[in-house]
Amino acid sequence: MTTTPVEASDNKPSAPAVPLSPTTGEPMTVIARRGRVGLWLIIVMSVSGTIALIISYSYLWSLNVNGGWAPPGAKLTANQTNDTIGKVKGSFAPEWPFWAILGMLILATVFMWWGYRSVKRGNQGALIAGSTLALIMTLATLVAQWIQVTNFPFGPANGAYASAVLLLCASNIFNLLLLLFILTGIMNRARKGLISRAVSYQAQAASYWMVWVVIAFLLGCLVTTFMVESPNVDPAIFGGFKEQ
């Protein structure tokens, strides 16, 4: 493969119509394209993880091994071979908090999108306002999520449903913490003018990422709303055989 010494176009000393990256000297458009590709790939990775969670939830829901899906208070079909667990409280979690949390996150996403849209039209202040509002809203969502987790009518040791729901909430909390970090960064950079009409790809990336997080939350809401009672009413009994 031969190489001809031609000055490649990505670093012509031309007048920077688009600003250049201070570190590598490439035009910000190139950096932005790179950033978009990377964002999509990271979203692919996150999708895989979320799917793993959803698979776990629905698989356990469909099997109801040893009748252990439902929290004890909700339904006592199983022959509880292991009574060492203190099963004091127990029932399925109410659905509405999931949707409420989803709604709050959607609101935050809308704020962020509004900021991004307006900075593309050159309205720097709107981006600062939007990202700040989104940040506050995300914080509120985190608090709400925490309240929900602490008020579940079951503990982690109360069967498969409890485990699956709690882990969904844990991944939500992780996502929200990540969002807090991202939005703080966006807010600061917007204030410093590092995100401007010319260079707005980071705001764009944050907005798209928030959309994906909303979708992840939505998946959680769907399974926790429409997959509650296990369809398997005659589950396998641990360690024993059916009567012939």
Partner 1 sequence: MSSVAPAHVHSAEVPQPAQHGKPGGIMRRLNFGTGLIGGIGLAIIAGVVTSQFVPSGYASPVTFAPMEGEYVYLAVLLGWVIGFMAGMGAFVGPIRWMLGRESTHLDAEYMAGKDLGRSRYWKYTTDHKVVGIQYLIVTFIVFGFGGLLAMLIRTELGATWTEVFSPAFYNSIIGTHGIAMIIAMIIAVSGPLGNFIVPMMIGARDMAYPRLNALSIWLLVAAVPCLISSLFLGGIQDGWSAYQPLASQAPIGMLGYQMTIIVFAISTGIASVNLMTTILTMRAKGMSWSRTPIFVYGIFAASLMGLYAFPFYQYSQILSLSDRVFNTSFFNPLEGGSVWLYENLFWLLGHPEVYVIIIPTAAVLMEILPVFMRKPLFSFNFAVAGIVGVVALSGLVWAHHMYMTGWAPAVNYPFMLSTEMISIPVGFLVLVVIGTLWRGTSWSRLPLMAVYAVVFNKMIGGVTGIYLSDVPADQYFHGSMFVVAHFHYMLMGAGFFGAMGGIAFYFPKMTGKILDERYGSIGLWTVFVGFQLTFGSMFVAGLQGQPRRVLQFDEQFDISNWISTIGAYTIGVGTLIFLGAIIFSWRDGPMVSGNPWASKSLEWQTPTPVPLENFAVLPVVTERPYNYGVPDPYDEELRAHDGDELESAGAR
Partner 2 sequence: MTMTQAPQEQPESPTNRPPSMHRFKNWMRRPYARHVMIWTVVIGFLLLPLCWLLLAAMNQTGAPASEIMQDIETTVFVFTLVSIPITAFVFAVLLYSLIGWKRISSDEPPMQENPAIFTNRIGVVLWTVVTSALAMFLVVWGMIELAQITANSYGTISANEQPGGNQSVIVNVTGQQWVWTFAYPQTDGLVSDILYLPVDKPVYFNVTSKDVIHNFWAVELGVKIDANPGAVTTAGVTPNKLGTFNIRCAELCGMHHAYMETEVRVVTQEQFDSWVREMGGRRTS
- Window 70-99: residues binding partner 1 (CB under 8 A): 78, 81-82, 84-86
Q: How far apart are CA 126 and CA 69, in angstroms?
A: 48
Three-state SS at 241: coil
Report the residue number, 81 or 225, with the smaller CB distance to partner 2: 81
Q: Which of 126, 149, 167, 215 binds partner 1 (CB under 8 A)?
A: 167
Q: Is 240 in the site for partner 1 (CB under 8 A)?
A: no
CA distances from 210 to 24, 43, 109, 133, 186 (A): 28, 11, 6, 14, 13
Q: Is 137 in the site for partner 1 (CB under 8 A)?
A: no
Report the residue number, 72 or 97, with the smaller CB distance to partner 1: 72
Q: How far apart are CA 30 and CA 108, in angstroms?
A: 29
Residues pairing with 27 in the sheet: 20
- Window 1-40: residues binding partner 1 (CB under 8 A): 1-13, 16, 19-25, 30, 33-34, 37-38
Closest C-alpha among 136, 39, 140, 151 to residue 94: 151
Q: Is 64 in the site for partner 1 (CB under 8 A)?
A: yes
Instruction: Kindly state the DSSP code that residue 69 receives in the 8-state scheme.
Output: S
Q: Which of 20, 30, 65, 228 binds partner 2 (CB under 8 A)?
A: 65
Q: Which of 45, 48, 150, 241 binds partner 2 (CB under 8 A)?
A: 241
